Amino acid sequence: MSTTTVRSPAAPPVLGGLGLLTVLLGAALPLIDFFIVNVALPTIGQDLAASESVLELVVSGYGLAYAVLLVLGGRLGDLFGRRRLFLGGMAAFGLTSLACGLAPTAWTLVAARVAQGVASAAMLPQVLATIQAATSGPRRAKAMGLYGATAGLSMVAGQILGGVLVAADLWGTSWRAVFLVNVPVVLLGLVLAARAVPETRSQHPEPIDAPGTVLLAASLLALLAPLTEGRAAGWPLWTWLSLAAFPLLAGAFYAVERRADRQGRTPLVPPSLFALTSLRRGLVMIVPFSIGFSGFMFVIAVALQQGAGRGPVAAGLALAPMAVVFFFTSLAGPRLVTRYGTRVVTAGAGLQAVGVALMALAAWRSWPDLGIVELLPGAAIAGAGQALQLPIIFRVVLSEVPTARAGVGSGVMITTQQSALALGVATLGTLFLSLVPGLGMRDALVTTLVVQLAGVALTGLLSLRLPRTIG
């Protein structure tokens, strides 16, 4: 009598509590570093004798490299293993942060920031892809809610932390501390990731879509580079030629991706992915939300320091109420969504509109005595509204994406968010700085906040088209 040994299928990877904490740390670092330099730019400019256009590159060089390569980073994680790319990206982020902190010249800093953006693009897509692949059911909903809370809190906390570190001038490091602080955090993250983050990858990985990668990179650069650098450079001819080339490059990218999709290959950004209503409508919402968020953060940092004469600490801490309220409100988000569905997002947009209006009113009445006390009511209400939007929109976007395409889906979502963050600094920041000479700092700030208010209203209207429940 013979016996046959039946092998049980391998257990699916599970992301435990420590592993979730570790990947959320990896999600926070790139977003903090996008905003942490806002309040450090004046000090960097003085120390390195950098012109305004070079300082713009310190911000935009990071954002451009980050946005352009995010989808590729997601695909590489699907192909070679998300844990492996997460570890490699985090290690590279630590090394490039060290290079930023030790940069002897402004152009060296710009080069190090570009490299830091590349490292972020390798690390960040693996966070959402790992959550999608190694969690399910209520655990996934909780993890996605925590990811959204981490993303929103990181963007505000980065600006606060930047102000504190510059003013503290630890061991005479001045602005360099905003980059050097990443090094010990990365070392801790690498130890935790090696122990607690499971390896996941696509079961049927596809080769890299080289034509799609090149065309996507060219399209994003053609749009973002002139918008972020145009005003500081005086809008030379290349900026207009670049903007004119954007629709042509974007059209070529779509055609190449659609052909690959129809031929049964997996393109870099599969057009078939946009057949998912939740993903398509969620992505459309992310654009105005992120433009308004990053534009506001940049404008308020400049207005408080250069207009109201606040130091970096006061400029950063003015947004502390927004960060605190965002954190605690986001914890209640999953329960509210379970009870009321995605109409919570619409309510969040209404709250944010009230908060932005109150901040505009405070600027109008109190200028130049504008600080944490004057901004507190508006910042707190706006923070609550943002917390009821961003984490939930992230859940909506990825709710129907198959596990096999987790890397692609997360890459597309984060690319959309990052591109919109860069657009926010370029558009609202350019509007504000262009209005200052004619209107003065106060009226330029109020006008920019009113424009942001229109974007919040658009987000609220778009939220009415979201699926009522999240799968």
pLDDT, tens only, 5-43: 443 445 667 888 898 999 999 999 988 888 888 778 888
**What is the pLDDT, as a whole number, of residue 238?**
92
**What is the pLDDT, as a whole number, of residue 377?**
92
pTM above 0.85, yes or no: no
**What is the pLDDT, as a whole number, of residue 8?**
41
Q: How far is CA 406 from CA 75, 152, 399, 415, in A?
A: 9, 21, 10, 14
Tell me which long-range contacts 103-112 makes (C-beta under 8 A, separation of at least 24).
Answer: 103/48, 105/48, 106/44, 106/48, 106/49, 106/50, 106/54, 106/55, 106/58, 107/54, 109/44, 109/48, 109/50, 109/58, 110/54, 110/57, 110/58, 110/61, 111/61
Query: How far apart, in whole angstroms, are the C-alpha atoms of residue 307 and residue 309?
Result: 6
**What is the pLDDT, as a whole number, of residue 3?**
45
**What is the pLDDT, as a whole number, of residue 182?**
93
**What is the pLDDT, as a whole number, of residue 288?**
92
Which residue positions in the chain have pLDDT lower than 50? 1-9
Query: How far apart, in whole angstroms, are the C-alpha atoms of residue 378 and residue 354?
Result: 7
The per-residue pLDDT for range 147-170, each reduced to its tens digit, is: 878 877 887 788 788 878 887 878
For residue 185, give the nearest of 87, 102, 90 by alpha carbon: 90
* Other Cβ atoms closer than 10 A to 338: 13
- Give 95: exposed, middle or buried? Use CB within 10 Å, 0-12, 13-18, 19+: middle
